Each structure stands twice: as C-alpha cells, then as structure tokens.
Chain A
Amino acid sequence: EPEVTQTPSHQVTQMGQEVILRCVPISNHLYFYWYRQILGQKVEFLVSFYNNEISEKSEIFDDQFSVERPDGSNFTLKIRSTKLEDSAMYFCAGDRGLNEKLFFGSGTQLSVL
C-alpha cells in the first residue's frame, strides 16, 4: 500500500526557533492535511490544503503556522517561532477526495525545549 512519508521522525528545537516539518504525500492525492497530537490528548485538526491554498484551518493554526507545497511534491508545515506548547506529534495526511480514506504518515515528534 502506498505511504505518506514524514521527515524527520523526531525533531528537537529551542523555544523561539523556526522549524519545518516535511511530508511527501502519495502522488495521486489532491487534498493534504496536518494534524497534531499533544501527549495524552486528542488528535487535532490543524489545516487542510487543496489546489495550492489553505481550504480550512482550525483556531490552533495561528499566524505562527504556515503550510506550502513548493515543488508539487513536498508538503511542509512551518512553525515560525516555536513555543513550549507546540511540543506534539504532528501528522501529515492526504487523500484523493471522493470520500476515500485518509492516509496518515507516521508522524514527526516535535520537542520544544
């Protein structure tokens, strides 16, 4: 079965630093998403991305966050100035629409010190 690939698997950063989390979606997917899971809490929707623009975002996705798909392949989540509370597992996901299933990556564990 095709996979969504996320790199790195674990990233440690200092508070206030910028981080970029990378995802390589499945090639025929059209819709892309970022979710996150703070330790011990629910998996939360952050943002959806379609046709090279954000289609929906949650209240978590403030001005510190941005997404892009610069080369038509990698799908990135940037956190401009990390805070301690940004520490979480970040999941990339994608699908073709048409009510088909969402494919998730294995996640990037972000630790902000």
Chain B
Amino acid sequence: AQSVTQPDIHITVSEGASLELRCNYSYGATPYLFWYVQSPGQGLQLLLKYFSGDTLVQGIKGFEAEFKRSQSSFNLRKPSVHWSDAAEYFCAVGADTDKLIFGTGTRLQVFP
C-alpha cells in the first residue's frame, strides 16, 4: 500500500540550529515527492518537490531535501532555523502533482 510516514510528531529546536525532518514512503512506482509547510491560519505552501534528476533538491526559504531511493526517504533539511520557520511540515508522495498521499505532519517549534 502507498503510504508516507513522518516519524516525528513534534520537534523543538533553538533558533540558528540545524534541522532535519524525516520522511519515509512506500510507493509502487517511481514517486513524485513533496514537502509542504502550513503556518497557522494559512494554506499548504509547497517548499520543494522531486520528480527526477539530481537527488538533492533545493527549495524556498533555504530548505533542501535529499531523495534516497535505497532508504525510501526524502528528509527535509535546513542548516540554520529561523523563528519564522515554526509551522507544520508535511511530506507527500504521488504519481503526479494531484492525488497526493500526505504524512501526518511534523510540528516544528523554534525557541529563541
């Protein structure tokens, strides 16, 4: 069955610290992979996506993610977190840009 697992429900980091949010997927074919961010009262905003090619993908707001086929992972990273990065982060997988399968999300809290 197709699924996305985000093992960390809640992560707390200090401002300026590095960040890695984990995402593992189970998908029959070559997946399209996405990371979305949701700030309170806002919609889901696309951070980055992987379709093919270079397995290290750069996104907006200084985020990047690496596709590792052998580990079925697509972890999101940022070298230095800002207080404004506090939000809910969702990993998603799909055969296309539609009908995405989402993970349960990871809530990021940033302390000054």
Q: Chain B: how many interface residues by the 8 Å CB criterion?
A: 23
Enumerate B48-89 residues with CB–CB distance to A below 8 Å.
49, 51
Contact A43–B97 (Cβ < 8 Å) = no
Question: Which stretch (B11-19, B21-29, B101-109) binds chain A?
Answer: B101-109
Q: Write the nearest CB–CB distance from A48 to chain B, whole angstroms.
A: 5
Binary flags per residue of A75-113, CB closer than 8 Å to B gives 1, else 0: 000000000000000010101010111111111000000
Contact A101–B104 (Cβ < 8 Å) = no
Contact A95–B97 (Cβ < 8 Å) = yes
Contact B97–A48 (Cβ < 8 Å) = no
Contact A104–B100 (Cβ < 8 Å) = no
Residues on B with beta carbons closer than 8 Å to the beta carbon of A20: none
Contact B98–A102 (Cβ < 8 Å) = yes
Residues on B with beta carbons closer than 8 Å to the beta carbon of A56: 98-99
Whether, in the assembled complex, B112 has its beta carbon less than 8 Å from a beta carbon of chain A, the answer is no
Contact A45–B41 (Cβ < 8 Å) = no
A residues contacting B by CB (< 8 A) are: 3-4, 6, 9, 31, 33, 35, 40-45, 48, 56, 91, 93, 95, 97, 99-107
